[in-house]
């Protein structure tokens, strides 16, 4: 027993001499852009078709956010985070000092939570609770909305008259997707911040597909599964991660 105490005392004294941190803080920020500039909810941008467009709401559930170190060990950052891009979003966690190589997260809510869930069973502080998920839970076909992207556009270049609504509400277990990004960083002397970027312009304008809002502007997933599929594919393509 006394040997253990002695060893601990030596170890503490030793680490004190080196002043090397054994852990540090990782912050994950979620940001949204419109073609390179920060997306501001309510501001008017120009869509690729030349028409004005405004985003009124952009929210997404990000779950099982974790980082992976060079030995493949995973360190959780957050179980469930509801990113609301009308404000700044971020989540932090203390992790061991190490070299890290990957950021992993999922868009949506895992099936075991999404199926037969009841938001009223979560404490109000949870993003899955009735108040935490307000507007992000389908009450007519029980389940969480994974991504909500909606606003107004115009079918002419006149930016003073945005009256045409669009709304993409996607959910259902089939759209739960896991993303993994290679990114090297070290937690040691310094903390680190990683940014998950969502380029909202690419939600509509991808390399292989373009959503023409004059024709395709509304999906609640089950009522327009084809458009939901297209939106999710574009959305997933739009995500990038950087320091």
Binding mask 64-83 for another protein (x = CB under 8 A): --------------------
CB 89 within 8 A of CB 30: yes
Beta 192-199 vs 74-84: how paired, if at all? unpaired
Query: Are the beta carbons of 133 and 120 closer than 8 angstroms?
Result: no
69 phi and psi angles, rounded to 5 deg? -85, 180
Q: What minimum distance in Å lies between the beta carbon of 116 and another protein?
A: 6
Residue 1 as a binder of another protein (CB under 8 A): the answer is: no
Q: How far is the CB of 176 from another protein (least distance, A)?
A: 17
Q: How far apart are the first and last CA of the chain?
A: 46
Among 15, 141, 156, 193, interactor with another protein by CB under 8 A: 141
Using rule CB under 8 A, residue 137 touches another protein: yes
Tokens representing 149?
């992207």
Report the residue from 16, 72, 140, 207 that binds another protein according to the rule CB under 8 A.
Answer: 140
Q: Does position 222 bind another protein by CB under 8 A? A: yes
**CB of 133: closest distance to another protein in angstroms?**
10
* Local structure of 111: helix, strand or coil: helix
In this structure, are residues 148 and 168 in contact, taking their beta carbons and an 8 Å threshold?
yes
- Residues 107-136, mask of contacts with another protein (x by CB under 8 A): ---------x-xxxx--x----xxx--x--
Structure tokens belonging to residue 201: 């312009």
Q: What is the helix (H) or strand (E) element at residue 85, kind and residue range?
A: none
Least Cβ distance, residue 141 to another protein (angstroms):
4
Smallest separation, CB 135 to another protein (Å): 8
Two tokens, residue 165? 């609504």
Binding stretches for another protein (CB under 8 A) = 116, 118-121, 124, 129-131, 134, 137-142, 222-223, 225
């Amino acid at each position: 027993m006394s040997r253990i105490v002695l060893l601990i005392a030596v170890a503490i004294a030793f680490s004190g001499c080196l002043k090397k941190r054994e852990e540090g803080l990782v912050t994950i920020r979620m940001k949204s852009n419109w073609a390179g500039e920060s997306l501001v909810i309510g501001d008017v941008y120009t869509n690729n078709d030349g028409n004005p467009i405004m985003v009124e709401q952009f929210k997404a559930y990000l779950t099982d956010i974790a980082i992976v170190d060079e030995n493949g060990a995973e360190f959780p950052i957050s179980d469930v985070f509801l990113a609301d891009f009308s404000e700044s979003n971020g989540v932090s966690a203390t992790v061991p000092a190490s070299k890290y190589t990957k950021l992993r997260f999922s868009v949506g809510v895992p099936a075991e939570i999404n199926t037969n869930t009841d938001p009223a069973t979560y404490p109000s502080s949870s993003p899955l609770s009735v108040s935490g998920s307000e507007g992000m839970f389908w009450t007519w076909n029980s389940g969480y909305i994974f991504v909500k992207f909606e606003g107004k556009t115009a079918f002419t270049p006149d930016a003073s008259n945005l009256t045409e609504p669009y709304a993409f509400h996607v959910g259902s277990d089939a759209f739960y997707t896991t993303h993994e990004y290679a990114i090297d960083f070290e937690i040691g002397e310094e903390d680190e911040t990683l940014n998950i970027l969502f380029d909202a312009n690419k939600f509509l304008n991808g390399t292989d597909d373009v959503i023409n809002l004059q024709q395709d502007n509304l999906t609640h997933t089950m009522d327009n599964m084809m458009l939901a599929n297209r939106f999710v594919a574009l959305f997933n393509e739009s995500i990038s991660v950087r320091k």
